[in-house]
């Protein structure tokens, strides 16, 4: 003889256990918090001190050029030489006249690489460029 009725076997679970979902959400949040700063910088640079917070600018207008201590250039996180950067900036500036070149140069690097990039921007007619600095500590 059976002790349990058939009726109890047909009862559905009316509550959903959200604890595993919350655990997954917190793990993903921690992963994104840790990896986001790593995606921001492609070269380890020590920026000079000073400056102020930048105003709100359309992100589609910005092109970032980084210059390492050794004088290696990176355009939008891709290693490139100065003539290649010139071709990219010329193409981008023709497509968008509001282009801003965001220059991140290491403070211990030689200025000749920085001057070469600024000269390149001026020759192309790009008058809007910004030098990245480390914000002052309060």
For the cut 90, the answer to whether the pLDDT of residue 58 exceeds it is no
Q: Measuring CA to CA, which residue among 101, 108, 100, 102 is closest to residue 45?
A: 108
DSSP secondary structure letter of residue 6: H
100 phi, psi to nearest 5 deg: -125, 130
For the cut 80, the answer to whether the pLDDT of residue 41 exceeds it is no
The pLDDT confidence band at residue 50, using thresholds 50, 70 and 90, is low
Query: 130 is written with which tokens?
Result: 């910004």
């Amino acid at each position: 003889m059976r002790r349990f009725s058939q009726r109890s076997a047909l009862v559905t679970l009316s509550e959903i256990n959200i604890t595993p979902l919350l655990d997954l959400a917190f793990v993903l949040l921690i992963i994104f918090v840790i990896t986001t700063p790593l995606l921001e910088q492609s070269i380890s640079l020590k920026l000079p001190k000073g400056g102020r917070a930048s105003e709100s600018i359309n992100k589609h207008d910005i092109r970032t050029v980084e210059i390492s201590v050794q004088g290696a250039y990176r355009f939008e996180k891709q290693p490139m030489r100065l003539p290649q950067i010139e071709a990219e900036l010329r193409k981008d500036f023709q497509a968008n006249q509001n282009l801003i070149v965001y220059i991140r140069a290491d403070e211990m690097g030689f200025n000749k690489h920085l001057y070469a990039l600024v000269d390149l921007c001026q020759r192309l007619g790009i008058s809007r460029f910004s030098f990245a600095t480390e914000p002052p500590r309060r």
